[in-house]
Structure formats: structure tokens, C-alpha cells
Amino acid sequence: MSTRKQERIAIFRYGVIAPLVGLKKSGYGQTEALIRQIIRREWAIPGSPRSYISRSVVMEWLKRYEESDGDLKSLYPKVRIDKGRLRSMDQETEQAVLKLKKELGANVTLPVFLRIARERNVVTPEFGVSLQTLYRLFTRHGLDESGSDGVDRRKFEAELPNDLWQADIMHGPLIVDGKGNKRKAFLFALIDDHSRLIVNAEFYLNERLENFLDCFKKAAAKRGLPRRLYLDNGPAFRSHQLRLCLASLGVELIHCKAYVPQGKGKIERWFRTCRMRFLPLLKDGLTLEGLNKKLEEWLQGDYLLKIHDSTGQSPMERFIKKIELIRRAPGNLNDYFRTTLRRCVANDRTVRLNGKFFEAPAALIGKSVTLCVDVQKEGAIEVFYKEQSFGLLTPQDKHINSKVRRDNYRADDKPRNAKDPELPDAEPPKSGQLF
């Protein structure tokens, strides 16, 4: 505390006790009347949010002043003899906490740090130190997570629309599902780095990869294909299927460095805006469809057309300024988002998938085939053999099979197909693309 501040506080305290200084003990009644006036009065106490002074405090100030023979410094605020140490923990625990903080590094958040400290018995389960106290302790020792780590970070912005998209997941509010149960919703969102346009955002019931792919597919169909996609290191974002889909579409996949979220600042900042401006508007009891409808209304009315502080333009205006440079998504976009699996067709023409049986053309009996599964459409499974489509598999129905006539084709029949000597004359249907 500065000397000037100490002097200001001492002057205030003297002003409080001044009417009591020098009164004789014989004037007890007069002294008590003055004290009652002091403790009932509302004061503007420097450096304190309180406005009233208790009797014990008044008497303490008066005693200190009179015992010092009227030295104003006796009314200075007392300096803590334990300054620099925490009152809520002993010195041994404090040193153990600091050692653990140095071990874990600056990127560990305070709640996670406290959980790890309890798990490793660095602190007891009933340890009652607040996160603010820990923050002050780490700051005083130069271990605060906001401190500079010497890494060269710079603001960046993509030069053109769809040059770079950033994407992430945010935990959303509780919704009511079809069975009346409350479930947490998860918000997938993609933002165009150049324009700050939310190319697509949608709530889902879980964080699985198929939901992110659905969100990305809708964004690509609506806003065109990005050249690069910037994601974190979540399990869903490092899957083989995601890399395959993006590579097939000519989209470069970029992952940010582990535990360094600063690179995704634009999407994180939008999530913050969403929490502050959108979530407080919601009412309880919304369904997933109702929640997504509210989100779309908010985006159209409160975000897309408003001037962005960083760009000086609305996201939509900045995005369409060079719309002629945007790369359109292919017409068969859905085909790129199917899961590919390898299976062997059994002698009864069946293929087993997720515990269910499906029937393939008789010409594929004994062949190792590729299945392209559309996770968004139940039962939409297209079968390929040597990159040639043989149409969609049909669910097995044993009752119908007991009544239908069997194909005459046998595996040991003489091949008659000029294109592929392993297949008969029948021209298989074409309904998709294998990549």
C-alpha cells in the first residue's frame, strides 16, 4: 500500500475519532452519546465497500491514537506480518501446490488443477481455498495461466471467403426429447475466417462424428466448399473417415496444436457471443427442432446482418463481396460423406452389418465387396465391386425368401461378361460413386 493511501486512511480515521479525543473519563455520558452518533452515521470509508463503523473499531482507533501521544501514524492501516503467504493454507501445502503447478504447466485451468491436486493428495478433499486465491498465489509467483509463454502469436485473417473455416463444439442447454426426457444439446458451428459468417450452426444430441459431418455437409451445400478446415484435436476430428471425406472434396484438414486453443479464437469468440446473447433468450421445455429454429431466427436477425467490430462490415456483406471465387459443392455431395466398409458376401447372398443381415446380388456371392453406408439414412447401403456399383442392399426377409424363386446363376457357371470375366451378362444398376 502506498504512503499516500495510508495517509488518506489515517486522516479519515482521525476525523471519525476527533470528537472523542481529550474527553475526561468523568464525561462518560457525553462520550457514549458521541460514540452512538458515530456508529449510527453513514460514512464514505476509503478503500472499503462498507458504510458503517462498529463501536469496537472506533474504540480501537481511539486507543491507538491516545497511546501514541497523538501520532497520526498510529492510525495507519496495519501491515500483515504474513504478507506474501496465504492465510487459508500452511506454508508446506503452499509449496506443494506451487511445485505441482510448475509440473503441470501454465495451460492447465484452475478447476482442472484443483481436481488433480486432490487426486494426488497434494491437498485434502476438504481443502477450501477458492479459485481466486489460487489465481493470486500463482500470479504472485509468475505461474498464472494468462502470463506470456514467449510463443510468437499473431492475429491472422484469411484473404478470401471460404479460404479457411474454423469449427468447434459447444455444450448447449437442456432440451426435451421425443420421450419427454431432458437431454443436453451440443452445438456444432463453422465460421468463415475472412467474413466471420457462420456458414452453418446446428444443435445435436451428442458429439459424434456423424453429426459434425452432417453439419459440415449442410454448410458446404449452402455456402460452397472451403479450401482449408481448422479443427482442434478432439477424437471425432482426427478420424480416418473425416480425413477421407475432406480429401475427396479437395479440402485441407488442419489441426491446432494440442492445448493451444488461441488459433481458434474466432469460433471461440462467437461461442461466447452465443452464450451471452442467445442462450439467455431461451425458455425451458424446447425440443431439439424448436431449439434449432430459435437459433436460425437469432442468426438471421441478430448476427449475420449486423456490423462486425473487427471487419467494419456485416458477415453476409463481406462474404458475398467476392462470391464469384467460391467453389461450389458437387451435385452428389452426399456420396462423399458415406462410411466405407469391407465385407464378404456369404453363400446365402447376405452381408452382416451392425447385427443386421442385408442381401446382395447373387453375382457377388463369395466376393469381397465395398459397402458405402449413409449414416443419415437408415438402410441406405450401396455395394461396390471393383469400383462398380451394384445398387443398394436390401434388408433380409426370411418369410419373403421362402416364397420367391431363386436366381439360376451359380458360382461355377461359365462367365459371360466381356467387361469382367468373373461376372455374368446381367448389367448391374448404377446409383452412386465410389472414391
22-42 pLDDT tens trace: 776 556 677 888 888 888 888
349, 354, 356, 362 alpha-carbon torsion, rounded to 10°:
-10
Ranges assigned E (strand) in 241-287:
252-255
Cell 449452402 locates to: 222
CA–CA distance, 70 with 87 (Å, rounded to integer): 33
Predicted TM-score (pTM) of the model is 0.55
CA–CA distance, 33 with 400 (Å, rounded to integer): 104
For helices 209-223 and 240-248, angle between their N-to-C axes, nearest 10 degrees = 10
Using 50, 70 and 90 to split pLDDT, how confident is the model at 203? very high
CA–CA distance, 89 with 98 (Å, rounded to integer): 12
The 10s digit of each residue's pLDDT in 308-339 is 777 788 888 899 888 888 999 998 888 888 87
The 10s digit of each residue's pLDDT in 254-305 is 888 665 656 678 898 899 889 888 998 898 889 999 999 999 999 988 777 7
> According to the model, what pLDDT value does residue 258 have?
61
Q: Beta strands 228-231 and 252-255: pairing type? A: parallel
Average model confidence (pLDDT) for the chain? 80
CA–CA distance, 270 with 277 (Å, rounded to integer): 10
Angle at 188 between CA 182 and CA 190, to 5 degrees: 160
Burial class (CB in 10 A: 0-12, 13-18, 19+), 62: buried
Q: Say if CB 352 and CB 343 are below 8 A apart.
A: yes
Cell 452432417 locates to: 214
CA–CA distance, 278 with 280 (Å, rounded to integer): 6
Taking alpha carbons only, the member of 197, 265, 185 closest to residue 232 is 265
User: According to the per-residue pLDDT averaged within each range, which of 135-149, 375-389, 414-428 is highest?
Assistant: 375-389
